[in-house]
Amino acid sequence: MVRDMSNSEKFLAIYNEIDVFMRKELNVESWVSHKELIRRLIDKGNLIIKTYADDLISYAELRNAIVHNPYKNQFEPIAEPHEIILNKYDKLKSQILNPPLALDTLAIRGKDIFKISLEDSIIAVMEVMNNRSFTHVPVIENNKLIGVFSENTIFSYIVNNKNVLIDDEFKIKDFIEFIPLNNHCSECFLFRPRTITVIEIEEVFKSDIIGNKRIAAVFITENGRENEKILGLITQWDVIAAKNFKNI
């Protein structure tokens, strides 16, 4: 009869999986320590390892205490990890080995993005934005992204066209001067490939400002190029909402 693994055995199995992964990533010899693997991956730019470095080092120290037990003849293991620690370590392993992609977890998928054209009524668009709490709406013509309509667009238009009353006759095309991505006075838009991870997107929005402009949204395309089909859209609010959901 096969016995169930103890928590310490499960813990060591998780440690070994992470250790093997890091060695493959760095292509290093077996004598390089676990802590050194962590340090080298941080230097290499691995954001997940960097974010959870303190936890990984703590788990490595616990592993060493379990493996290098000076009292093996009297009792073993010297420490039995709590179920909560085991679950946290296992989730961290999943993050490291299979980092979740932003497109799969955070982004509004291409087919679900509210898109508009130059011929759409400005009032109708603003009503949808207000009712559905949309902050930025891609403007599409001939299946290509030509810009974004946002509060910034309206602000710029009013500043440059004083005493103008926006009514039902106005269409998106009337704001064409302020719609192109590079024409937004205080916000900018980025493009990233479909392989970008959740933690990488979080890092993007931590930057917040690029060249005196706030990062308003990130478009995800196949290779992160502006001329490619939009696969997903992420705003800072999407990142904040996801974090708040995880904390519930």
Rounded to an integer, the average pLDDT of 170-199 is 94
Percent of the chain with pLDDT over 90: 67
- Residues 70 and 91 placed together within one structural domain of the fold: yes
Mean pLDDT (the chain, rounded): 89
Domain boundary (37, 70, 99) is at 99
Task: Tell which wins on pLDDT, 74 or 234.
Answer: 234
Is the residue at 2 inside a domain? no
Task: Please write the tens of the pLDDT for every residue from 102-128.
Answer: 999 999 999 999 999 999 999 999 999
Q: CATH no. for residue 217?
A: 3.10.580.10
pLDDT for position 166: 85
Task: Report pLDDT for 2.
Answer: 53
Q: What is the pTM of this model?
A: 0.81
Residues 86 and 125 in one domain: no
- Same structural domain, 58 and 81: yes
Top pLDDT among 142 and 190 is at 190
pLDDT given at position 146: 95
Please give the pLDDT value at position 78. Answer: 63
248 pLDDT higher than 50: no
H or E segment and range at residue 91: helix 83-97
Q: DSSP secondary-structure letter at 247?
A: T
Q: Which tens digits make up the pLDDT trace of 41-88?
A: 999 999 999 999 999 999 999 998 888 765 565 555 667 889 999 999
Is 24 contained in some domain?
Answer: yes
Per-residue pLDDT tens digits for 202-219: 999 988 778 888 999 999
Mention every residue, 6+ apart, whose C-beta is less than 8 A from residue 230: 110, 113, 138, 145, 219, 220, 221
Last residue of a domain, one of 58, 77, 99: 99
* Comparison of pLDDT for 91 and 68, the residue scoring more: 91
Q: Based on the fold, state whether residues 116 and 81 are members of the same structural domain.
A: no
- Residue 1 inside a domain? The answer is no
User: Measuring CA to CA, which residue among 123, 150, 130, 151 is closest to residue 139?
Assistant: 150
pLDDT in tens, 2-23: 567 889 889 999 999 999 999 9
Q: Kindly state the tokens that stand for 154.
A: 């309206």
